[in-house]
Amino acid sequence: MQQPVKTGELLVNQFLSTVLVLTLTTSLVAAQSVSDEDQVRKERADYNEAIAQHDVSKIVSFLDEEYQVTTSVGQLLQGRDDEAASWQALIASRKDLLYVRTPESVEVSDGYPLAAEVGTWLGTWSTENGPVRTGGRYAAMWRKVGGAWKVRSELFVALYCEGSRCP
CATH of the domain at 73: 3.10.450.50
Mean per-residue pLDDT for 5-23?
54
Answer with the residue of higher pLDDT: 16 or 59: 59
pLDDT grade for 105, boundaries at 50, 70 and 90: very high
Query: What is the strand order of the sheet 130-145 is part of?
Result: 76-78, 63-70, 148-163, 130-145, 114-127, 98-108
Instruction: Indicate if 116 and 41 belong to the same structural domain.
Output: yes
Question: Is this prediction's pTM over 0.85?
Answer: no
Q: How far apart are CA 7 and CA 118, in angstroms?
A: 60
Pick from 32, 43, 33: nearest CA to 106: 43
- In this prediction, residue 10 carries a pLDDT of 55
DSSP-derived secondary structure for 97-137: -EEEEEEEEEEE-SSSSEEEEEEEEEEEEEETTEEEEEEEE
Instruction: Indicate if 57 and 74 belong to the same structural domain.
Output: yes
The whole domain housing 49 covers 36-163
Phi and psi at 111, nearest 5°, equal -110, -15
pLDDT grade for 29, boundaries at 50, 70 and 90: very low
Q: What letter does residue 93 receive in the DSSP assignment? A: H
Instruction: Indicate if 101 and 151 belong to the same structural domain.
Output: yes
Contact call for residues 134 and 104 (beta carbons, < 8 A): no
CB atoms within 10 A of CB 79: 16
Instruction: Indicate if 100 and 68 belong to the same structural domain.
Output: yes
How many domains does the chain contain in total?
2
pLDDT grade for 165, boundaries at 50, 70 and 90: confident
Instruction: Indicate if 80 and 105 belong to the same structural domain.
Output: yes
pLDDT grade for 33, boundaries at 50, 70 and 90: low
- In this prediction, residue 90 carries a pLDDT of 95
Inform me whether the pLDDT recorded for 14 exceeds 90: no
Give start and end residues of each alpha helix (H) in the chain. Answer: 7-32, 36-52, 56-61, 80-93
Instruction: Indicate if 56 and 27 belong to the same structural domain.
Output: no
Answer with the residue of higher pLDDT: 85 or 8: 85
Instruction: Indicate if 79 and 104 belong to the same structural domain.
Output: yes
Instruction: Indicate if 14 and 86 belong to the same structural domain.
Output: no
Angle CA 11–12–14, to nearest 5: 65
Instruction: Indicate if 135 and 156 belong to the same structural domain.
Output: yes
Q: How far apart are CA 166 and CA 154, in angstroms?
A: 22
